[in-house]
């Protein structure tokens, strides 16, 4: 699945990172607790979250994630967008709730990453 496919599946809006839309993603992680995200180490390329602050971008950066989806219509602010741009991380926002957003991506073949 590409980031572009995620936009279609989640009826998402692109906030920033247009140039990376063709990137392939292999697994995803849905969480509001950033330390839980940091407890996973393998190949998580997409983060779905209802949390909307700069530490979400930092966490994705530390985990080498390439795309963040903000659920329930949350919109990142200018500082977050600048940080994401500098780290080449795509930001998307969807009106779907967390459970539905994760379910839709799962249904289309995206899975969770390994937990080691």
Residue 33 interacts with another protein (CB under 8 A)?
Answer: yes
- Contacting residue, 4, 20, 21, 61, with another protein by CB under 8 A: 61
Q: Give one DSSP letter per residue of 73-102, joined into a string.
A: T----HHHHHHHHHTT-EEEE-SS-HHHHH
Q: Which is nearer to another protein, 10 or 83 (CB)?
A: 83
- Contacting residue, 11, 55, 88, 108, with another protein by CB under 8 A: 55
Binding mask 75-104 for another protein (x = CB under 8 A): ----x-------x-----------------
Side-chain-side CA neighbours of residue 87 (13 Å) = 23
Q: Which stretch binds another protein (CB under 8 A): 2-10, 36-44, 66-74, 88-96?
A: 36-44
What pairing do the DSSP bridges indicate for beta strands 13-16 and 90-93?
antiparallel
**Cα–Cα distance between 77 and 21 in angstroms, integer?**
21
- Contacting residue, 14, 16, 32, 82, with another protein by CB under 8 A: 32
């Amino acid at each position: 699945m590409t980031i572009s496919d995620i936009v279609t599946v989640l009826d998402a809006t692109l906030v920033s990172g247009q140039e990376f839309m063709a990137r392939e993603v292999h697994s995803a992680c849905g969480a509001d607790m950033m330390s839980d995200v940091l407890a996973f180490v393998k190949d998580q390329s997409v983060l779905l979250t209802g949390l909307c602050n700069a530490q979400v971008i930092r966490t994705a950066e530390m985990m080498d994630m390439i795309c963040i989806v903000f659920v329930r219509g949350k919109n990142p602010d200018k500082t977050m967008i600048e940080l994401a741009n500098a780290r080449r991380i795509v930001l998307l926002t969807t009106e779907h709730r967390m459970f539905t957003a994760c379910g839709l991506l799962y249904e289309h073949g995206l899975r969770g990453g390994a937990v080691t």
